[in-house]
Amino acid sequence: MEPKMFLACVVFVLLSWTDFTQSVLPKNKIKVENNGYNGVTVAISQKIQEDVQYINKLKELFTAASDQLYKSTKYHLYFKQVTIVVPKTWSRKAEYGRISGPQYDLAHVVLDEQNDLVGNRPYVVGVTECGAEGQHIHITPYSLVRLPMQSYLAKSMVHQWGRLRWGLFGEYPEAESPRLGQEKYYYGTDGTFRPNTCSEQISGRFLKYCFDPSSECSLQDGVPEPGCQFCPNDPSDASSSIMGYFYINGITEFCDEASDSVNRSVHHNKKADTLQNRHCGGKSSWYIMRQHPDFSGLTPGNPIMVTAPTFNVVQQDSQKVVIVMDISGSMNTNNKLQKLVQASTYYLLNIVDSGTKICLVVFSTTASIIQPLAQMSSDSVRQQFVYSLPQRASGGTSIGAGLRKGIQCLTDAGETTEGSVILLISDGDERNSPKIRDVRQEVEDAGVVVTSLAFTDQSDIQMIELAASTGGRSFLYSGLENSTVLLDAFALSTAQTGDTTNALILIESISISVSSSAPYSGTFIIDSSIGKETTIVLSGGSLDHLSISASSPSLDTFRSGQCGTSNCSLRISGLAERGVYRYTVTSTSNTEKNVICSIQSNQRTNNAPTIIANSWTSGDTMDIANGSTIRLYTSVMRRGAPILGASVRAVLDGSANDILLLDKGYGADTIENDGIYSAYILPKHLSGNGRTSAKVSVDNKDGSATVIVPLSRRKRNAEPLPGNVAVTTAQADLFKRTALAGEFTTINYEAATATDILAPSRISTLEVISSDYVTRRFGLRFKAVGDDYDDGKATAYDVRISRDFDKLFNDPDSTFRVTDNIPTPGDPGTSESINVELPNSFSTYYVGIRAVDENNNKGELSNVVSLSILSDTNWLASPTTTPLPVTAAQADSAVERDALIALIGTSVAAFVFLIMIIITIVLIKIRMREKRLEKERKKRKSKKESMRSNRSSSSRSTMYRDFNVPTYYHTNGGVILNTSSLKRPAPPNYVYVA
């Protein structure tokens, strides 16, 4: 008797996991030297009121966390050098060093106000896929000052460092970051429910409320009711995992692969339904950690090494930006120099903040400073810089000379180079020395952040490597007439979005065509968080024949007047009215002209909860030959709260094909409803090998987007409690945002046209949604994936079932395959259901699924779920011991053996049933004889009593027959329903498979 499979369809979504990768996020770079981390940066938000105890507490935290990290990583890593960045709003002190500009976006840890969706619990911002780095760790002043340092904060920092640095996921179901929805606390196995933890040795109870021992859970649809959570014992006998219940005393280690050489107390539990297993393919924390460059060639240090970090406290200074421009002869072609001058003019007049200091450097064969460092404090200073922009180009190319001169510009002015930005712009390969490789160490030692902007893909690729090594970003401008990347890169290259009282928001950036007979009209949205100094800017060639007008929601009109030759803008001074604006660009020329139109605005008020869109890619190289791809991410948040249901679309520079990004939890998107929208960049989006940049547009024009908000506001200074913050959603404003993801390179594109090498995504959302222990039926659900990752429809599902977990996990092809009544794959994101009936109620089965395309390319095996009939009446209390595992030899013929056991069991049941029938017949005959004798005795009674008794009995029998109601019989002092005449209907939506 084979396992019986049943089929149904629903509507749902999918999560996935890919190879280990490094996300391209701008961030200060960390180096590992002699087992120690150098370059760890902690930034204190300018929203935090001045209090020097925060500096002392941060030092105490990192000292304790360094010791814990060293022990938890088996003496491999500790925090060696930590820089604490004090906001510029705090008092100046002689002991503070200086650093240029805000460091919030580049820091690894930030001290900031509480996020109401998480409370005072530390968490990681920007979590994407397994093995990928996050953006930063968020901690609050309350948790820093009030929570226990050794037993909570130090271990919490190690836990969060695992998520931030190595791309690990939680091994417990508690909230790790703001999002909608929560995970399950349990999985079924060996006739009971076990907690979703890494170590199988952890003990505790299942309760509705951990603070109330009497709030026991009950079953609903055969599984623990919603809200049932696991409450671990404290202290714990288990020592792992610190990626799980780290706040429990005794838990200090990361889980490792199960082997004889690894202590059993840290064995990774691949069967648990944790996020780590779902998104990392069942791999342990240590397995993922060992793939990270931090551990490459690293050997354990001395167990008694002093792990206390050295600290450097610096204070933010004004931002310094050095624009280093290529004026070599090749910049004369295709109007590149003219475009560079116009983009620089746009930046100097409309983008740069009045507190920022700018220096202009040009280079060809040699380099020179054309404007020394000066603050953009007035229009006259800005105009002076615009007038000095280069007008001619000639000579060779020495990027190294330009970089050296940029650093000199900072030091000549007596300014710190640490944290300053060099915006490097070039169009070609280096021909002259010094080259980038000659000055790279000097640039890195100076602590500057290099952002590179390449004019066409002929520019030196070392610009990308330099930007990455200094914590900057790289962009590519294709030079095409409809490309907006040049202006977007200038606008976004130095924008600080995480911690500013006056963030610049790029609302719109588009290419438009206009002539005297065909003016261009469009709309833009001013939402409740922006509206200060809103500006419309045109760029591209001669602009003196153009003009701009705009009308507000209340029909107030604004006009630019006639534009200048190289500058055309319309500014709405002060605070713009909220709502939808209409604007028109007109021309006095009969010739149609393409120009770039950019619309930007500042935060409406200081610290307004502004909707911010940030974009990045999962890597910088896409090798088609090995089937790799790049994921494109866009985070859409309102002060840490995810925006759901927004329209997010990307376009590659020079391409007309949109790429739709989704936050639906399948394919490229790892976690649903976390505000991070994702998509794969596929060969179909490209035209060949080379470099390109991705631009992203985000909007809520149709008003369907929502924002996650707490169901009830927690007290601002409250301890973080176990469990998750209850959340709901509220309507989001109408809004529009533009972001730039950066540059990446495609190689071996020709492999995409030779054969289909892209397999479907891995299914990581398989789950048990119901179980019936009487019929032994289980309902499973998962989310469909595509043909090529999450694009198109897959061809089939390969469903595997086994009693041997390891056999299914490591070699699914050798396990039993279910071939009948398997659903045909639907569109990506569609939910599919399968129902399973087990042949033996005493066995645990494991199920996994793979999607297959038309060329038999198979996705990775899904997360594996377990099916087990509940036989443990004490399931509410998690056992403290673990049963011995089933070996492969014991389960080689598990399905067939279970069928035989089921057959024997059926036969025994039939025999027992036959004996019961015989006994029942004998008892009935004895009872009939007793009734006959009783009847004869009753005849001797009075005729009147006999007639009354007969009428009463007849009336009752007639009543029951007429109304067909069930009867009851008495037994052992109880009343039992007599169901012998009731018909049991067949279960709906179940199709039995032979």
In this predicted model, what pLDDT tens digit does every residue of 518-568 receive, in sequence order? 999 999 999 999 999 999 999 887 888 899 999 999 999 999 877 877 778
**With bands split at pLDDT 50, 70 and 90, how would you rate the model's confidence at 929?**
confident
Residues 6+ apart with CB under 8 A from 474: 451, 452, 453, 454, 463, 464, 467, 468, 620, 742, 743
**Phi/psi at 71 (nearest 5 deg)?**
-70, -40
At residue 24, the pLDDT reads 54
Q: For the segment 188-220, what is each residue's pLDDT rounded down to a tens digit?
A: 888 888 899 988 888 899 998 888 999 999 888
Q: What is the pLDDT of residues 134-166, one digit of tens each?
A: 999 999 999 999 988 888 999 999 999 999 999
pLDDT band at 504 (very low <50, low <70, confident <90, very high): confident
Rounding to the nearest 10 degrees, give the CA dihedral for residues 939, 941, 945, 948: -10
Cα R_g (the chain), whole angstroms: 34
Answer yes or no: is pLDDT of 899 > 50. Answer: no
Cα–Cα distance measured from residue 483 to residue 336, given in angstroms and rounded to the nearest whole number:
13
Confidence category of residue 313, pLDDT binned at 50, 70, 90: very high
- pLDDT-derived band of residue 688, with 50, 70 and 90 as boundaries? confident
Band of pLDDT at residue 939, cut at 50, 70 and 90:
low
CA distance 850 to 766: 11
Looking at residue 722, its pLDDT comes to 54
Residues comprising the chain, all counted: 994
Q: What is the DSSP letter of 673?
A: T
The torsion angles phi and psi of 208, rounded to 5 degrees, stand at: -75, -40
Least confident of 73-77, 255-259, 286-290, 910-914: 910-914
Task: Evaluate if residue 4 carries a pLDDT over 70.
Answer: no
Sign of CA dihedral 585, 587, 593, 596: negative
Which strands form 568-575's sheet, in the order they lie side by side?
504-514, 593-603, 530-539, 568-575
pLDDT at 21 > cutoff 80: no
**Rounded alpha-carbon distances, angstroms, from residue 513 to 480, 586, 587:** 14, 10, 10
Pick the residue with more confidence: 303 or 936?
Answer: 303
Q: Is the pLDDT of residue 908 over 70?
A: no
Which pLDDT score, from 0 to 100, does residue 481 have? 82
Element (H, E) at 100: strand 97-100
Q: How confident is the model at residue 715 (pLDDT cuts 50, 70, 90)?
A: low
Q: Above 50 in pLDDT, residue 980?
A: no
The confidence score (pLDDT) of residue 831 equals: 94
pLDDT for residue 394 = 94
Contacts of 199 (CB under 8 A, 6+ apart): 238, 239, 240, 241, 244, 255, 265, 266, 267, 269
Q: Are 821 and 872 in contact (CB under 8 A)?
A: no
Per-residue pLDDT band for 772 (boundaries 50, 70, 90) equals confident
The strand pair at 36-38 and 78-79 is best described as parallel
- The contacts of residue 390 (CB under 8 Å, 6+ apart) are 325, 327, 337, 341, 362, 370
Mean pLDDT of the chain: 84
DSSP type of residue 291: H
Contact between residue 182 and residue 190 where contact means Cβ atoms under 8 Å apart: no
Predicted pLDDT at 497 = 57
- Going by pLDDT thresholds of 50, 70 and 90, the confidence category of residue 716 is low
Report pLDDT digits (tens) over 868-879. 888 877 777 654
pLDDT at 175 over 70: no
Are the CB atoms for 294 and 166 separated by under 8 Å? yes
* Per-range mean pLDDT, top range of 255-269, 327-341, 399-413: 399-413
User: Is the pLDDT at 882 greater than 80, yes or no?
Assistant: no
Cβ atoms of residues 326 and 425 within 8 Å: yes
pLDDT tier, 927 (very low <50, low <70, confident <90, very high otherwise) = confident
pLDDT at 931: 72
Q: Say whether pLDDT at 714 is over 60.
A: no
Mean pLDDT of the region 902-913: 54
Q: Residue 902: what pLDDT?
A: 45
- pLDDT for 644: 96
Which of 117-126, 856-865, 971-980 bottoms out in mean pLDDT, i.e. has the lowest? 971-980
Contact 272, 198 (CB under 8 A): yes
pLDDT higher than 80, residue 8: no
Q: What is the pLDDT of residue 962?
A: 30
CA 739, CA 64: separation in Å to the nearest integer? 39
